[in-house]
Homo-oligomer: A and B are copies of this chain.
Amino acid sequence: MLFSSVASHLKLAFVGEDLEIDSMNELNLSSSSQLSFGVHKKYSSELSLSKAKAFLITNTLVEHLPKDSSYIICEDVSVSMAQITKLFNKKPIDRELLLPKVGSNSYIDSMAKVENGAVIGSNVTIMAGAYIGTNVQIGDDTIIYPNVTIYRDCLIGRECIIHAGTVIGADGFGFSHTKTGEHVKIYQNGNVIIEDDVEIGANCAIDKAVFNSTIIRKGTKLDNFIHIAHNCDVGEYCIFVAQTGVGGSTKLGRNCVVSGQSAFSDHLSIAPFSTFTARSGVTKSITESGGVYSGFPLMNHRDWKRVQAKIGKLND
């Protein structure tokens, strides 16, 4: 899409060369063919270093644009950005692609749906009611239980087990907000990558990234009802006990253990080998590996036990 088309969709003027744009991305992840956007002053250095050549931008950030950038000055960059994500949104199904490819010894139930463009490995089992979207890839020896849904473009590794009712690749929860309180959908154009040897319990939901990928790395195990938001990166060999949730873009190192009903805020970075006891509420990043934490607000587990004892004594 031409940058001039973006501008005319927004009914705004553009400055600079009219470039061909193939997709959108964050400032620090953009390539030269991607459209990016600068919302806040705090991103001014990321802006100046971005490899993108076309931007949606607030008036006050123009001075930080890389040299020779094309740009559109928006009154509300956040809302304009959301509106433009719709232009790059892929339709939910692409039926014009080639028929799915299926490896040897795989069983696909006649009541499962596999869309065109999908590539299924060898010795895969896909049970009745499962939905395998456009361009999804599934590695060898993986089993997909009934009524699992995998949205288009997601990648599933080898020797994975995905239990019934789980949804992989639904839209991340992202909206911009107008001054009058309406919510403008930020279309989620990324995907989910599930690496090898991952097991995902029943009725989980792992959302696709807004741009790029949500990732669950090798050997990680999820219990039932786990919520992983868009753009998370869950390290290798993590354990998530039931009913836990991870906010958007949070990154966990390897071998973290997350006990039941715990939750993480968005945009955190959690050191490897961190352990969280039941119902932990994690709102800050953790830089030191190997700690054990509890409570909400989160404390060192030992401190939390002492606080709990003292709370119990408030009645004395």
Task: Give A residues with C-beta under 8 Å from B.
Answer: 92-93, 107, 109, 111, 113, 125, 127-129, 131, 143, 145-147, 149, 151, 161, 163-167, 170-171, 173, 175, 181-183, 185, 199, 201-205, 207, 219, 221, 223-225, 227, 229, 237, 239, 241-243, 245, 247, 254-255, 260-261, 263, 265, 278-279, 281, 283, 296-297, 299, 303, 306-308, 310-312, 314-315
Distance (whole angstroms) from the CB of A284 to the closest CB of chain B: 13
Query: What separation, in Å, do the CA atoms of A175 and B131 have in the docked complex?
Result: 28
Distance (whole angstroms) from the CB of A65 to the closest CB of chain B: 32
> Which residues on the B side are within 8 Å of A311 (C-beta)?
307, 311, 314
Instruction: Assess whether A149 is in contact with B171, with CB atoms less than 8 Å apart.
Output: no
Contacts A131-B129, A219-B183, A263-B261 given; does A306 touch B296 at CB 8 Å:
no
Contacts A143-B92, A163-B170, A308-B297 given; does A278 touch B265 at CB 8 Å:
yes
Instruction: Assess whether B173 is in contact with A149, with CB atoms less than 8 Å apart.
Output: no
New A-B contacts (20) at CB < 8 Å, excluding given A92-B127, A93-B127: A92-B125, A93-B125, A111-B113, A129-B129, A129-B147, A131-B164, A147-B167, A161-B171, A165-B167, A165-B205, A167-B224, A170-B202, A170-B224, A173-B241, A181-B237, A225-B245, A243-B243, A243-B263, A261-B261, A279-B281
Instruction: Assess whether B303 is in contact with A279, with CB atoms less than 8 Å apart.
Output: no
Q: Which of B167, B199, B255, B296 contacts A202 (CB 8 A)?
A: B167
Instruction: Assess whether A205 is in contact with B181, with CB atoms less than 8 Å apart.
Output: no
> Which residues on the B side are within 8 Å of A314 (C-beta)?
306-307, 310-311
- By secondary structure, the A interface counts as loop
Residue of B nearest to A146 (CB): B131
